[in-house]
Structure 1
């Protein structure tokens, strides 16, 4: 391949990265789970095998695999010409579009490590990601959904001078427009496939979201094995309606899995039924992934939308637990090919299988993707529970991380001495090997498929001078799965929900972490040991609203 002399990946990309042990790495290679392929190779090989097939399309553009590969080559050369070195990190925050695919693979081909930011992340989250990752640049859209990403980029650059490169798709303002990326040949890079390929963003559990380092070896396996399990072929058309930077639509099997078989990926920035249904119909979409709240809305919308899905053979639902009655309604309204997916950005994926009977699909959250996945279900003392009993799920395997990026203290808490990841999910293991999710250990709220740290939200609100104490509590919601209820003791006059959310907006808090309900209280109930009793708050609010708390 033309380009500059081969460059090694810089050791900086591994600073703070917790690698697989030599023994486990050797076992995964010997077992065929790791094949030494880079994530970028998925596109390169697809362009060789299916050059004329449509690879990606959105509302305004489309590219065959050959065209996409050429665009990525030019983009990688452009990033390299800017002086971006192999191993350096860049924040990638683009809406669902063909440009997202070009930027992602362009960064990978240049040897950079993308930090996969979601469109809803704001200054608070991106500041944290920039600081932890040591990113040297940002790739953003000019504006989307009424938000100006350039203004946020200006604040980021002012706070973090190491952000030397800001590339803007669209009207760039003071920054470099995407169209003005310099020309150049893609660099030839010697890639250590056991090192980080990209950094996903964890669901917030305690404090700000953490960065999840996925290696080339583990992420190629993640995507390839998921595509095989879902029986993807080059006749499939995969719709990305969830944010593309999420692990679920990116590699489970998602965009990357589609490329392993030469399928077509359709990007849509609007998952609403009135947009998604005509998109599914127009392009003959056969596979897509949603969260429970969206899947339920789609099922209900079949009663009034003039165009409804007719071509879906597989509808994946994950991000939070899908209740059995909802699963049955979704199967009846949208497609019998419902698949429950219970997974995490940190690795472990559980799927119901395509040939599973309805009872399994509707009443379980699947079983592990790989025969090399190792599970432990333990009680609060770390001891294994009896078969069928509830406990916290711990996991390790060929695609589950061994530690968060540059998060030593979090890693001490989130991984046991044998390298098992503590998921924070409470589960029960059925006799047939399938898991049933029963709850959570961690103090989080799952709102419309997004995991929000109650602690992080509370800490942000306590910085407001009018807030004396606060508790963020999940309440069941038929549309969102869980809504964010904020119980507040005010230090003076009571503020409104709109005023508090306006404050969170000024603080740069992600849009999906804004409270839905505000309840002012004279004091917050406490447990016998003096902690805030969130279950009591949920009961009080539920009683007042005549709903049943989970």
Structure 2
């Protein structure tokens, strides 16, 4: 199956990964019945009162896959999946894997802007949403977006209020009759291991969509290696609280890792301490994952909680940097160990191991999960730095694709001709091989683990008629790490407030987490010698350093 714009691995490299046993040529959907045959009566997925065994999951996913096919979805078709953490998310994802439909993992906060641009880029044939979520009508959103896409697109809805031309997903999931013929038919329709399994979104996706293709082969290998790195097994009970559409809680090791190990995945819609602690107590959770801001909140709340958290063994922490002194507080507060993770939807995953001493677990982001991961640290000249020195990390390996989908100009910037991915992160590698992240080259703002492209925000704000020039910079924040701050200069006689910026971007359908939370108005922005806004000077303004006097901005 060939999808337009997907960049393949060079054939000789792919052959090497197959010979090394990394790529096994099996579609991810085939795992459903392997799991069901091994652990059929064991509980696989918990979502509130819903408890699905491995057999339940296989039967429901097969029913859904067959009915997707009956509605015209098949090999290579793309569907936008914008579901919260719920059991239907797992069933939908596995059903897509079963028949070669490619789910595009969107996030619940995404609105018209993100759904429309990504849906157009991948030529989505369907949009799968909840009816409502946190008071927002996603069903109506999906129909608005579907009307703008280049091809006709189905709207499939999970929930109690399915109306109009929407298709009720739960109605498709109900299985009846003999499952044997259906299973055999779906086996015949199964994609190849080399086919694209899913599309992930790059952190900090810009106005040019950066969509990452992951094949069945490479994603399965990723899952197997990270399960090993985190010691997941039959006794694992994994709690998913971060949005399941993120690569981290989905498969690193996350939901799919727990299932692959024969454990149990517990889904929660929120990382708030009380429901998290209640789930840990009720389900005897052994592992969960969080961004630093969430983990810090849990550590603070644990001091006053009466919940029994004694089953918790590991918290996987990633998404943004974690100060060693903060890391040292989280484990004792939750009475567990932490595993730091550094990774990206583009591939590379590093973990501190479960038996790592505290000095490693607290101060590094660990080692790659695969011995075939290649890491290269380079200076501004593109040459390798001396061992232990800081530089930009480049990587390639058996689960790091060779390009984004359909953006050759972006690929020429993000990937080298010989296949190295430029992560944009500044790191050093210790003598023991542990990666330590020290900063970034990319112009990104990391808000609670969500990577926001400064360039994307600048483009949107620049469209406002009041704005002459704009620069978006990260505003340090003790809770979420960074918030979006925009510096602007205005056209003569114009005024602009933070509320005005927020309203304009909200009207454009921009996700709420990207909306600027501070506005600074200057007569003129400072510039570098080549004429670009000088973000170093602007950042100094925010932190009290030297810089040009700032005009008062909206709080």
Same fold (TM over 0.5): yes
Deviations 1:390-413 (A, max 9, x none): 111000001101111111111111
Q: SS state of the match for residue 473, structure 2?
A: strand
- Give the equivalent residue in structure 2 for 1:269: 269
| Matched-pair contact (CA < 8 Å) for 1:273–1:305 | no
| Matched-pair contact (CA < 8 Å) for 1:143–1:150 | yes
Q: SS state of the match for residue 513, structure 2?
A: helix
Pairing 1:148-159 to 2, within 5 Å after superposition = 148-159=137-148
TM-fit CA distance, 1:108 = 1.6
Q: 1:499 and 1:61 mapped to 2: Cα distance?
A: 43
TM-fit CA distance, 1:228 = 1.2
TM-fit CA distance, 1:493 = 4.4
Deviations 1:149-174 (A, max 9, x none): 12221221221151331111122222
- Give the equivalent residue in structure 2 for 1:241: 241
Deviations 1:167-195 (A, max 9, x none): 11122222222244398946322422112
Of 154, 172, 177, the match for 1:181: 172
- Give the equivalent residue in structure 2 for 1:318: 318
- Give the equivalent residue in structure 1 for 2:435: 435
| Matched-pair contact (CA < 8 Å) for 2:244–2:250 | yes
Are 1:109 and 2:98 counterparts?
A: yes
CA RMSD of aligned residues (A): 1.7
Which stretch of the first structure deviates more once superposed, 311-320 or 37-46? Answer: 37-46
| Matched-pair contact (CA < 8 Å) for 1:494–1:520 | no
- Give the equivalent residue in structure 2 for 1:521: 522
- Give the equivalent residue in structure 2 for 1:497: 498
Deviations 1:303-362 (A, max 9, x none): 233326322111100011111011001122114410000000000011111111111111
Q: 2:49 and 2:86 mapped to 1: Cα distance?
A: 9
Q: 2:497 and 2:274 mapped to 1: Cα distance?
A: 32
Pairing 1:90-169 to 2, within 5 Å after superposition = 90-169=79-158
TM-fit CA distance, 1:214 = 0.4
Are 1:227 and 2:217 counterparts?
A: no
Q: 2:108 and 2:192 mapped to 1: Cα distance?
A: 30
Q: 1:119 and 1:205 mapped to 2: Cα distance?
A: 16
- Give the equivalent residue in structure 1 for 2:553: none
Q: 1:394 and 1:172 mapped to 2: Cα distance?
A: 46
Equivalent pairs, count? 534
- Give the equivalent residue in structure 1 for 2:461: 461
Q: 2:516 and 2:208 mapped to 1: Cα distance?
A: 17
Deviations 1:424-468 (A, max 9, x none): 001111111111111111100011001000000110111111222
Are 1:380 and 2:380 counterparts?
A: yes
Q: 1:371 and 1:432 mapped to 2: Cα distance?
A: 14
| Matched-pair contact (CA < 8 Å) for 1:91–1:116 | yes
TM-fit CA distance, 1:277 = 1.0
- Give the equivalent residue in structure 2 for 1:532: 533
Pairing 1:374-453 to 2, within 5 Å after superposition = 374-453=374-453
Unmatched 5+ residue regions in structure 2?
A: 177-181, 547-555
Unmatched 5+ residue regions in structure 1?
A: 1-8, 546-550
Q: 2:215 and 2:360 mapped to 1: Cα distance?
A: 32
Of 43, 56, 79, the match for 1:54: 43
Q: SS state of the match for residue 326, structure 1?
A: helix
TM-fit CA distance, 1:95 = 0.5
Q: 1:326 and 1:44 mapped to 2: Cα distance?
A: 43
TM-score (norm 2): 0.93
TM-fit CA distance, 1:145 = 1.1
Q: 1:544 and 1:422 mapped to 2: Cα distance?
A: 31
Q: 1:34 and 1:51 mapped to 2: Cα distance?
A: 26
| Matched-pair contact (CA < 8 Å) for 2:341–2:351 | yes
TM-fit CA distance, 1:110 = 2.5
| Matched-pair contact (CA < 8 Å) for 1:241–1:271 | yes
Are 1:15 and 2:16 counterparts?
A: no
Deviations 1:187-214 (A, max 9, x none): 3224221121000111115434411000
Q: SS state of the match for residue 393, structure 1?
A: strand
Q: 2:78 and 2:268 mapped to 1: Cα distance?
A: 27
Q: 1:537 and 1:62 mapped to 2: Cα distance?
A: 52
Q: 2:520 and 2:72 mapped to 1: Cα distance?
A: 52
| Matched-pair contact (CA < 8 Å) for 1:315–1:335 | no
TM-fit CA distance, 1:119 = 0.9
Pairing 1:292-311 to 2, within 5 Å after superposition = 292-307=292-307, 309-311=309-311
Q: SS state of the match for residue 62, structure 1?
A: strand
- Give the equivalent residue in structure 1 for 2:74: 85
| Matched-pair contact (CA < 8 Å) for 1:94–1:139 | yes
Of 58, 61, 75, the match for 1:72: 61
TM-fit CA distance, 1:283 = 0.8
Q: 2:205 and 2:65 mapped to 1: Cα distance?
A: 35
TM-score (norm 1): 0.94
Q: SS state of the match for residue 527, structure 2?
A: coil
Are 1:541 and 2:542 counterparts?
A: yes
Q: 1:422 and 1:256 mapped to 2: Cα distance?
A: 27
Q: SS state of the match for residue 121, structure 1?
A: coil
Q: 1:462 and 1:181 mapped to 2: Cα distance?
A: 45
Q: 2:508 and 2:88 mapped to 1: Cα distance?
A: 29
Q: SS state of the match for residue 78, structure 1?
A: helix
